Structure 1
Amino acid sequence: MFTLKTKNVSEPVTLRNLPTLRQAFVVASGLIVAGYVLAALVHPAFIYLPLLPAGGLLFSGLTGFCPMVYFLQKLPWNKG
């Protein structure tokens, strides 16, 4: 858990109060980092894993629709 300080007010930042678009950025960047780490440590074929979020970012940039956000909105902590 992180603490966010804005305007001299501290509030905890959890996955529950992050907007779904920021959650999508976290997932995409995690997949990119995981792909490079796994390619370096496990098998070189993992270098292709970052192509998934890269394609998703390209698609959402061109169309204005992010499929990952759609699926993240279905998760239990994003209900309500």
Structure 2
Amino acid sequence: MTILLFGITKDIVGSSTLSMPSSSEFGAKNTKTVKELRIYLGKMYPELNKLSSLAIAVNNSYADDDTIIDNFDEIALIPPVSGG
């Protein structure tokens, strides 16, 4: 699974994309949720946990934590946006 990174998430990870391991890394089941992905990324990159908000998009749509994801989905981490 490839995850697209933007803004501060790109700076934290050090790349504009992140390749994820197979679903077995998330736990025993083959399907995973956005919440499981969020927890996994927080463990791998603790600085992500310090962001005031972090949206996750699946296939170009904002996703809830209970959204099921698989290796064929397009995932993007969307950091907080500041305006002025």
TM value normalised by structure 2: 0.24
TM value normalised by structure 1: 0.24
More helix by share: 1
